[in-house]
Amino acid sequence: MAGINGDERAIYIKDMFARIAHRYDVMNRVMTAGQDVHWRREVIRRAELPPGGFLLDLGAGTGDLAREALRQCSSCRSAAVDFTIQMMRVGQSRPDRPHSESSRLDWIAADAGCLPFHDQVFDAVVSGFLLRNVGDVLTCIYEQYRVLKPGGMIVVLDTTPPGWSIFSPLVKFHLRFLIPILGSALTGQSDAYRYLPASTQAFLEPEQLAYRVMYAGFNDVGFRRMMFETVAIHWGRKPVH
C-alpha cells in the first residue's frame, strides 16, 4: 500500500474487503478477543437514537452496527451503506438475521465521501473501522454532518496508533505478527491482515481526529481510548440552529 493514493488506493481497499468478506466477522472477534461486540453496543448507546429514529451505519460491512441499533431501539430503522457489495451480501445472508429485519434495515451501495442522501435525513450516523480507510477523512465527516439532523450524534469507532506503555512490546507483537498470522490462517489473505495493522499505525491520533470532527462543525466532541489505546470511540453532536 505504500505510495498508493486516490482511486488506486480505493480500488485496492474495495478488492481487499471483498476477498476477506466471508471471514471478516470471525477475524474481528479473534483480533479483539470478542471486545468489538461490546464496543458496538457502546457506539449505539452514544448515538442516542430517539424512538422511531433513523440511523446511518456508514462503511457498514456486514451490518453489525445497523443491527445493534435495531436491537437497542425496537422502533428505529437503519441504513447500512458500504462500497463493497460482497461485504453487504455476507451480512444479508447471515443465518442469525431476524425475520423482521427486512422491513427495518436497508442495504445501500455507496461511497462514504459522496452519499446519495438529502440533507438532514438521519437521527444518528455511526461507523466502525471506516475512517482509516477513506482517502479524505474530513470530506467524509462533512458528508456525515450534511445528512445528519440538527441535534443528531456522530459516533466513530476506529483504530488509533498505540501510545507507549509497559504493554507496548505486546501490542506491537500483536499488530505486526500475530494478526497477519491469524489472518492468513483464517482467511488465506495475509496481505489484507498486513494492511489492517499498518493502517492502524498510520491513522490519526485521537486528538487529531477529534479536531477534525470539531472543524466539521460538531459540538460536544469527545473520545475514549480502549484496548491498550489501539481503538477509540469518538462522538459529537450537530448543533441545533
Integer angstrom CA distances of residue 233 from 17, 117, 139, 210: 22, 25, 19, 10
Between 169 and 158, whose confidence is greater?
158
pLDDT of residue 36: 94
Architecture of the structural domain at 6-237: 3-Layer(aba) Sandwich (3.40)
Residue 126 · residue 47 · CB < 8 Å: yes
Query: pLDDT (tens digit, 9 = 90+) per residue, 69-99?
Result: 999 998 999 999 999 999 999 999 987 776 6
Integer angstrom CA distances of residue 234 from 32, 141, 200, 212: 18, 12, 16, 11
% residues pLDDT > 70 (the chain): 95
Residue 237 · residue 40 · CB < 8 Å: no
Q: CB under 8 Å to 120, separation ≥6 — which residues?
A: 146, 147, 148, 149, 150
Query: pLDDT (tens digit, 9 = 90+) per residue, 102-153?
Result: 789 999 999 999 999 999 999 999 999 999 999 899 999 999 999 999 999 9
The Cα 55–Cα 193 span in angstroms is 30
Candidates 48, 65, 70, 67; CA nearest to 123 is 48
pLDDT of residue 5: 62
pLDDT of residue 212: 98
Between 142 and 13, whose confidence is greater?
142
pLDDT of residue 201: 85
pLDDT of residue 200: 84
Check pLDDT > 80 for residue 221.
yes
**pLDDT (mean) for 12-17:** 90
| DSSP characters over the chain | -TT--HHHHHHHHHHHHHHHGGGHHHHHHHHTTTHHHHHHHHHHHHHTPPTT-EEEEET-TTTHHHHHHHHH-TT-EEEEEES-HHHHHHHHT-TT--GGGGGTEEEEE-BTTB-SS-SS-EEEEEEES-GGGSS-HHHHHHHHHHHEEEEEEEEEEEE------TTHHHHHHIIIIIHHHHHHHHHS-TTHHHHHHHHHHHSPPHHHHHHHHHHTT-EEEEEEEETTTTEEEEEEE----
Cell of 91: 451480512
pLDDT of residue 149: 98
What's this model's pTM, rounded to 2 decimal places? Answer: 0.92
% residues pLDDT > 90 (the chain): 62
Candidates 98, 226, 112, 114; CA nearest to 162 is 226
pLDDT of residue 15: 92
Mean pLDDT (the chain) is 90
Strand order in the sheet with 122-128: 105-109, 77-82, 54-58, 122-128, 148-159, 231-237, 219-226
Domain residue ranges in the chain: 6-237
Query: pLDDT (tens digit, 9 = 90+) per residue, 54-66?
Result: 999 999 999 999 9
**pLDDT (mean) for 206-232:** 95
